[in-house]
Amino acid sequence: MRADWETAKENLMREALLAKFTQHPKLKEQLLATGDAQIVEHAANDGYWGDGADGQGKNRLGMLLMELRQQLAQ
């Protein structure tokens, strides 16, 4: 693991999501079709990227997807 992972991981995920959704028009279309709905990564074993399955996680993947959706909609 990178020594700076904790400070770099969100920007790396942001870059990866941008690449994925701009290179695959169908995925972009599906993301934009969610409108203003809240996106939640429901993951029992991940309290950082997901909701931790009990809603107590940070849901950072969902947050980044909503951020990207807003960016792509402009």
- Under a CB-based contact definition with an 8 Å cutoff, are residues 23 and 14 in contact? no
Q: Are 41 and 63 in contact (CB under 8 A)?
A: no
Residue 46 pLDDT: 96
User: What is the Cα gyration radius of the chain?
Assistant: 13
Residues 71/61, Cβ–Cβ less than 8 Å: no
CATH superfamily entry for domain 11-73: YbiA-like (1.10.357.40)
Domain segments of the chain as ranges? 11-73
The reported pLDDT for the residue numbered 53 is 87
Token pair for residue 17?
A: 């999501």
Q: Write out residues in the chain with pLDDT < 70, as ranges.
A: none
User: For position 68, what pLDDT does the model report?
Assistant: 98
